[in-house]
Amino acid sequence: MKNQLMNMLEARKEEMVQIRRHLHENPELSFKEEKTAQYIIDFYKGKDVDIQTNAGNGLGVIVTIEGGKPGKTIGLRADFDALPITEETEVPFRSTNEGVMHACGHDGHTAYLLVLADCLVELKDSLSGTIKIIHQHAEETPPGGAKSIMESGVLDELDAVFGIHLFPTYPAGEIGYRSGFSMAGRTYFKLEIKGMGGHGSSPHMANDAIVAGAHFVTAVQTVISRRLNPFDMGVVTIGSFDGKGSFNVIKDCIEIEGDVRYMTAETQKLIDKEVHRIVKGIETEFGVQCELSYVPDYPPLYNDPELTGFVKNSLESMNDKDIKKVMEFPMFSGSEDFSYYAEKIPGCFFYIGCKPKGVERAYFNHHPKFDIDEDALLIAAKSVAQVVCSFGESE
């Protein structure tokens, strides 16, 4: 079955490319992916599968493939939302939806999984166990789609879940894995500081919210430099400081927004505690009122060590001309809501190199000039197919 599946995928490489280009040309934002979801649903119509639409808190699509042989139940996940970015590439299939772009590779994720799933449907009589294809909406925008899909119970019977992400830091043919904590959790915060406005000539008659805010910006960085163990990963970013006013007017109110990244739940709790402590101190020190909204988005992504070891060994044994290298990737401080699946189910999320040919340094995910080497689509399909087949053989 494995050889047959690989041959089928190779024969349909161009179809993956064309699907990816169609999705790239027609991107949709998180929770607004109506046409994309319908495209996915239409792809499966008439096939011998069960289709669940509107999965979770949005437009997710869950497709169940029942194998002809007994075995475990696994999930394969790909996200399909785009980003609020104006595309700056010169590809002929660039976005036709102004201000929206597939700048993170989700078009490629969906394209490879659609074709792989279709091949698995054709071979279902030889397939061991059950495969749930998870076409997930809204990965880019919290609360995301994964959490709600997990909470719905539709994936409760999964024994394992797998996902991939395209990364242009490595060329097509290179695959990365990491055991244990591999991607960061994230928290969004917004701090509103209310003081008392006044004339710039008489600061003693006012209470300057900008000064208090500037102190917060400086003090919050000491959480990382002076409270966090140097061997632990943590980042606090101030992304917005809204204090614009007139040059000779003391502001009475400002807003600060930012995010926090961390690799473990323990680090998350420590930073949470320290940020709240600093905010209380600013209220006391400057005599201002603070309103802090502090909302954890996605937890750290934990790859099950045993399952990740299985994936590594399986990929290393492929002996495929398209797979050049399987290697351990470093921790990555970006976040991924695949973490919600991996919190409850043994999971492995691994990485597919997609650096465009002929470039010294590729534009990274979320850049308006982000692009991929489309050879990576077949490599993604083959690598996940290898894992599926090997998992069935390990029963």
Backbone angles phi, psi at 164, to 5 degrees: -130, 165
Q: From CA 287, how far away is CA 285, in angstroms rounded?
A: 6
Q: From CA 105, how far away is CA 355, in angstroms rounded?
A: 12
Q: From CA 326, how far away is CA 192, in angstroms rounded?
A: 47
Ranges of residues in the chain with a pLDDT under 50 are none
E-only strand ranges, the chain? 50-55, 60-66, 69-79, 128-136, 160-171, 174-177, 180-183, 185-194, 198-199, 234-242, 249-250, 253-262, 289-296, 301-303, 325-328, 347-355
pLDDT, position 392:
78
Extract the tokens encoding 234.
Answer: 């943590």
Cβ(259)–Cβ(188) below 8 Å: yes
252 sits in which H/E element: none
pLDDT, position 395:
59
pLDDT tens-digit readout, 184-204: 999 999 999 999 999 999 999
3 state SS for 129-147: EEEEEEEECCCCCCCCCHH
**Predicted TM-score (pTM) of this structure:** 0.93
Q: How many CB atoms lie within 10 A of CB 110?
A: 25
Q: From CA 323, how far away is CA 168, in angstroms rounded?
A: 16
Extract the tokens encoding 169.
Answer: 């830091």
Query: Active-site residue 139, yes or no?
Result: yes
pLDDT, position 268:
95
Is 250 in a helix, a strand, or coil?
Answer: strand
**Which residues lie closer than 8 Å to 121 by C-beta, 6 or more apart?**
47, 48, 49, 65
Of the candidates 83, 60, 99, the one whose C-alpha atom is nearest the C-alpha of residue 140 is 83
Of residues 28, 107, 118, 139, which has the active-site annotation? 139
Extract the tokens encoding 284.
Answer: 């006391």
Of residues 81, 192, 304, 336, which has the active-site annotation? 81
Extract the tokens encoding 81.
Answer: 């939302």
Q: From CA 238, how far away is CA 393, in angstroms rounded?
A: 49
pLDDT, position 393:
75
Please name each of the domains of the chain with its CATH number. Answer: 2-183+300-393 (3.40.630.10), 185-296 (3.30.70.360)
pLDDT tens-digit readout, 295-331: 999 999 999 999 999 999 999 999 999 999 999 999 9
Q: How many CB atoms lie within 10 A of CB 387?
A: 23
Query: Active-site residue 304, yes or no?
Result: no
pLDDT tens-digit readout, 228-241: 999 999 999 999 99
Q: From CA 216, how far away is CA 259, in angstroms rounded?
A: 14
Q: From CA 105, how far away is CA 365, in angstroms rounded?
A: 8
If you search the block for the tokens 């749930």, which residue do you land on?
A: 132
